[in-house]
Amino acid sequence: MINILLVGVGGQGTVLAAKVLAQAAQSKGWQVRTAETIGMAQRGGSVVSHVRMGSEGEPVHAPLVAPETADAIIAFEPGEAVRSLPYLKKTGAVVTAKAVVQPVTAALSTKPYRTEDVIEALGAALAESGGKLEVVDAAPFLEELGNRRALNTVLLASAVARGAVPLTVDELKEAIRACVKPRFIEMNLAAVDAVADR
């Protein structure tokens, strides 16, 4: 069984990323289930997509990943990665975007919410548990691609390139072709290449 969590802030595109992973798993002949956060939380709240793959041919029963069983957490925002750590397996991997997204609650408060602090906490936590951490500075990629909407693909591609999810770059591309709206396919494939060629 392979369990993956995609976490972020409502509007960042975790739903599509979960679809792409599910498509890739299905192409490998695995049973797959995903679950989404839809509703109020999509308005800038914390969102989580669950992806579960029966990688040993076993049936997948529940749609949700249980705590301490996620093989990988792919985070579109590092604070959300921290929030979802209770789901990570001891040896699991976290692939996270570097930049924090400041919620209104943080802007209103006097306590700073800074990228450095969050990344540091993540690093310390995973060093202690023996998990893997990959921090992705997505900004240069997004600039190169000229499209901020590619954040989800940049992160998926990083996770694949680092071996955090058991898929090849080609399998990922195939799944993108099957899931993404035709006019965005090229841009997303370019995003995968940009990350893979790095």
Partner 1 sequence: MTKKLLMANEAFAHAALEAGVRVVAGYPGTPSSELIETVARLHAEGRAHGVHVEWSTNEKAALELLAGASYAGARCLFTCKQVGLNVASDALMSLNYVGVKGGLVLYVADDPGPISSQTEQDTRRFGDFAKVPVLDPSTPEEGFAMIKEAFELSERHGTPVIVRPTTRICHASTFFDVQDETHARPLPEEGFQKNPKWIIFPRRAYEAHDEIFNRLRMIQDEACKDGLSQFNTVIEVAPGMRFDEAARLTGSQFLARKDAEGEYSDVLEWEGTPRFDFETQDGPHVGIVAGGVSAAYVREALRHLERNQAEEGLQLPAYRFLQIGTPFPFPKELVRAFLDGLDCVVVYEELDNVLEDGLLRTMGEHGIRCQIMGSSCGLRYRGENSTKEILGSLKSFMAAFADADMAHYAHCPGDGSPLVENVDALLPVRPPVLCAGCPHRGSFYAVKRALGKREAVPCGDIGCYTLGNAAPLNAVDTCLCMGAGITMAQGFSVVESDKKQVAFVGDSTFFASGLTGIANAVYNGHDITVCVLDNATTAMTGAQPHPGTGVTLMGERRKPIDIEGVLRALGVECIVGADPLDLQGSIDAAAEAIGFEGPSAIIFRSPCVQLKKPDPVLHVKQELCTGCKKCITEIGCPAIGFSAEAQGARSKDRGQAFIDPGQCNGCGLCVQVCPFAAIQKEADHD
Q: CB within 8 A of 14, min separation 6: which ones?
A: 6, 7, 8, 36, 37, 47, 48, 49, 76, 152
* Angle of helix 169-179 versus helix 182-196 axis, rounded to 10: 160
Q: Which is nearer to partner 1, 154 or 161 (CB)?
A: 154
Question: What count of residues does the chain have?
Answer: 198
Rg (CA), the chain: 16
125 binds partner 1 (CB under 8 A): yes
Q: Using CB under 8 A, which of 2, 16, 95, 101 touches partner 1?
A: 101
The nearest distance, CB 41 to partner 1, in angstroms, is 5
The nearest distance, CB 122 to partner 1, in angstroms, is 8
Q: How far apart are CA 114 and CA 37, in angstroms?
A: 26
Tokens 């093989």 belong to 71
147 binds partner 1 (CB under 8 A): no
140 binds partner 1 (CB under 8 A): no
Which residues 4-63 are close enough to bind partner 1 by CB under 8 A? 9-11, 18-19, 22-23, 26, 31-46, 58-59, 61-63
Q: Are 156 and 175 in contact (CB under 8 A)?
A: no
Residues of this chain that interact with partner 1 (CB under 8 A) are: 9-11, 18-19, 22-23, 26, 31-46, 58-59, 61-64, 66-69, 79-80, 82-83, 85-86, 88, 90, 101-109, 111-113, 117-118, 121-122, 124-126, 128-129, 131, 148, 179
